Chains A and B, each alone.
Chain A
Amino acid sequence: MPAERANADGLRRDALRERLALFGLGSPALLLVLVVMVLPVGWLFSLSFLSDEGALSLEHYRRMLEQPSYARIFVTTFQVSALTTGICIALGYPLAYVLSQLPRRAANLCMIGVLLPFWTSLLVRTYAWLVLLQRQGVINGWGIELGLWSEPLPLVHNLAGTLIGMVHIMLPFLILPLYGTMRAIDRDYVKAAANLGAGPVRAFWQVFFPLSLPGLFGGALIVFILCLGFYVTPAVLGGGRVIMVSNRIATDIELFFNWGAASALGVVLLVLTLGLLYAAARLVRLDGVLGGHGT
């Protein structure tokens, strides 16, 4: 039938036009990613395989294997990131849960509180922690004055200080996707569980918690990966004792005058992170976590 045929052709033409339009809309972003992300990373990648004289060489990678400090720095980086993620989950999950149970208007107000730190520069917040936590800082000052403790507590220039600063910065990154997922969970499921005789605790663990997992995984993954690249917070609050990969990159650039040595560190971190992302993707369906249509 000709009419039907013309109709199908028209539909196909419309679909094509729509796809082209979508591509057109996306192309500036694609171009941006190419220019600011793919090209520089590719350049760094190639630099890491060049010696000081510009010849092909693995010397930057060999140095990483020969000097034990590099391996320890990678271990520290992953440890600090894992600890930060863990603490963020412990603090963020209950908060996101409470928010998701509140009426929307109240939840939105509270959400502003969660997002408020985003509006202040990371550097300012990190230095603010220094002022609060140091030996003659606000917290130690009050604690000693109130007689809670007599000697200043070592709250900063160590792992504890670094974690406090990092958790403070990363918490919203966990709460946002988690809250979104929890909001989308149909409350009738929990009611149905209660109806079938489950107590509130059982209903939570058997129904609500599994449904919130994609949001939790997504948030935790974002937090963990962002933590791997932290520089300012460990530099300011770690007292030179918490040395992460980014800090070592800065030291190496100063020492070797050379982007190659530093690039190699960046490449190894990138490869390890991609490996981790791949492993995580095998555990949970990643598009469900990041794209949001998995729930």
Chain B
Amino acid sequence: MLRKSLAAAALGAALMPAAVTAQELTVVSFGGSYQAAQSKALFQPAAAALGIKLKEETYTGIADLRLKVKAGAVTWDVVASGSGSAARAGAEGILEKLDYKVIDTSSFLPGLWQDHCVGGDVFSTVLAWNTKTYGDKGPQSWADFWDVKKFPGKRSYRNAVAGSLEPALMADGVPPEKVYEVLSAPGGIERAIKKIKELKPHVAVWWSSGAQHAQLMKDGEVDMVNGWNGRFDVVAKDGGKVAYTFNQALLDYDCYAIAKGAPNRDLAMKFLAEISKPQYQAEFTKYITYGPTNRKAYDLGTIDAAYAKRLPSHPDNAARQLPVNLQWYIQNEAKAAAAYQNMLTE
């Protein structure tokens, strides 16, 4: 019986012209639990839906892609990236321009796609605190984060400039919607750096990775930190004493791009169109508390209502946050990073 149906299936497949050459697509991402979630929720189901073979690889960042493109040896099609890295890589010409006639972003939340990269999930850089130290009356704004009298305790802050200047300006009294305006004006970067210098004696650790800031909170090594919301949810789930707020958080997203000169450019475009559909994005949230970029994912009813309220891109949460301005980073990151490193080594 089984053999008969298998034979029939084989015959059917042989008769279908599309199946004669199963196309193969190579996708590259950052590995770890993040790529595992991508693979289960997006990559494998989308490949099955398109009837293609999929090869997954891992990489450490755009520098790897740059080498491949410069050497003319591009083997990757779809590249997972942070939004800022993708914007700079796109400006540099190592990514293909995306065709938004193929990829449907009409139901996306505003600002979550760019010329060379389409948003896949939304995360926030939030203010998190140790609930053993502050209980339920934790800090609620960056001004509180800077207020060492009202909230005595050790801080941890990022050791890189991305996402570090905006909170400083908000703590200095700049309203969120004016932050990038102030940063772009002469003296703006210096003002933010000066504010961070004020806090420097209270910063016990300058963290360098998400894994590190998660560990710091889990071990109770510091009392307050700026960091990525998904990591803190994992810590809290493991019994760590940590809570965070979306107030004044920075809203950012991870995205998918196509490598310049990708062997299967058109197929990759179709693949991106597929994984941008709401049902995939809703599935992805089950693995990690990063929100969908496609707002229709919330309407499907597959994301539990209470759980949806904890996702960064939920309308209630998104309204309290400042979307990261990628244009500002393209123009200013190198300069700002030099000033930041200078502040760190002083």
Q: Which of A1-9, A22-30, A67-75 contacts B (4 or more CB under 8 A)?
A: A67-75
Given known pairs A72-B345, A73-B345, A134-B221, the reply for A255 and B333 (CB within 8 Å) is yes
- A-B contacts counted at CB < 8 A amount to 71
| B-side contacts of A73, CB under 8 Å | 345
Given known pairs A69-B344, A69-B345, A240-B159, the reply for A257 and B205 (CB within 8 Å) is no
A259 part of interface (Cβ distance < 8 Å): yes
CB–CB B221/A67 < 8 A: no
Given known pairs A240-B208, A243-B344, the reply for A258 and B221 (CB within 8 Å) is no
| B-side contacts of A251, CB under 8 Å | 159-160, 341
CB distance from A8 to the nearest CB of B (A): 57
| A-side contacts of B159, CB under 8 Å | 240, 251
Q: How far is the CA of A251 from the CA of B219 in the complex (A)?
A: 25
Q: How far is the CA of A54 from the CA of B71 in the complex (A)?
A: 12
Number of A positions contacting B (CB below 8 A):
29
Q: How far is the CA of A221 from the CA of B221 in the complex (A)?
A: 36
Residue from B63, B207, B342, B346 in contact with A259 in the complex, judged by beta carbons closer than 8 Å: B63
| B-side contacts of A54, CB under 8 Å | 70
CB–CB A136/B342 < 8 A: no
CB–CB B89/A257 < 8 A: yes
Given known pairs A257-B66, A257-B88, the reply for A243 and B345 (CB within 8 Å) is yes
Given known pairs A157-B204, A239-B206, A241-B206, the reply for A255 and B337 (CB within 8 Å) is yes
CB–CB A255/B334 < 8 A: yes
Given known pairs A69-B338, A243-B344, A255-B333, the reply for A136 and B208 (CB within 8 Å) is no
CB distance from A85 to the nearest CB of B (A): 22
A253 part of interface (Cβ distance < 8 Å): yes
CB distance from B71 to the nearest CB of A (A): 12
Nearest CB in chain B to that of A239: its residue: B205
Chain B, 303-345, CB within 8 A of any chain A CB = 333-334, 337-338, 341-342, 344-345
| A-side contacts of B263, CB under 8 Å | none
Given known pairs A69-B345, A257-B63, the reply for A240 and B205 (CB within 8 Å) is yes
CB–CB A157/B205 < 8 A: yes
| B-side contacts of A248, CB under 8 Å | 341
Given known pairs A256-B334, A257-B89, A259-B63, the reply for A134 and B341 (CB within 8 Å) is no
Residue from A134, A253, A254, A257 in contact with B219 in the complex, judged by beta carbons closer than 8 Å: A134
Q: How far is the CA of A157 from the CA of B66 in the complex (A)?
A: 34
A125 part of interface (Cβ distance < 8 Å): no
A168 part of interface (Cβ distance < 8 Å): no
B10 part of interface (Cβ distance < 8 Å): no
Nearest CB in chain B to that of A131: its residue: B219
CB–CB B334/A240 < 8 A: no
| A-side contacts of B89, CB under 8 Å | 257
A51 part of interface (Cβ distance < 8 Å): no
CB–CB A240/B221 < 8 A: no
A135 part of interface (Cβ distance < 8 Å): yes
CB–CB B221/A135 < 8 A: yes
Chain B, 8-36, CB within 8 A of any chain A CB = none
A269 part of interface (Cβ distance < 8 Å): no
Given known pairs A243-B345, A254-B61, A259-B63, the reply for A235 and B221 (CB within 8 Å) is no
B102 part of interface (Cβ distance < 8 Å): no
A76 part of interface (Cβ distance < 8 Å): yes
| A-side contacts of B88, CB under 8 Å | 257
Chain A, 44-92, CB within 8 A of any chain B CB = 52, 54, 63, 67-69, 72-73, 76
Q: How far is the CA of A248 from the CA of B166 in the complex (A)?
A: 23
Nearest CB in chain B to that of A127: its residue: B215
CB distance from B26 to the nearest CB of A (A): 20
B220 part of interface (Cβ distance < 8 Å): yes
B62 part of interface (Cβ distance < 8 Å): yes
B73 part of interface (Cβ distance < 8 Å): no
CB–CB B62/A257 < 8 A: yes
Q: How far is the CA of A253 from the CA of B85 in the complex (A)?
A: 12
Chain A, 210-262, CB within 8 A of any chain B CB = 235, 239-241, 243, 248, 251, 253-259
CB–CB B160/A254 < 8 A: yes
Q: How far is the CA of A137 from the CA of B221 in the complex (A)?
A: 9
Interchain residue pairs A-B with the least CB separation, the first 6: A240-B206, A239-B205, A240-B159, A72-B345, A69-B345, A69-B341
Further 20 A-B residue pairs, CB within 8 A, beyond A68-B342, A259-B63: A69-B338, A69-B341, A69-B344, A135-B154, A135-B220, A135-B221, A154-B204, A157-B221, A235-B208, A240-B205, A240-B206, A240-B208, A240-B344, A241-B344, A243-B344, A255-B160, A255-B333, A255-B334, A257-B88, A257-B92
Listed A/B pairs (16) with beta-carbon separation below 8 Å: A67-B338, A67-B341, A67-B342, A69-B342, A72-B345, A135-B220, A136-B221, A157-B221, A240-B159, A241-B206, A243-B344, A248-B341, A253-B63, A254-B61, A257-B85, A257-B92
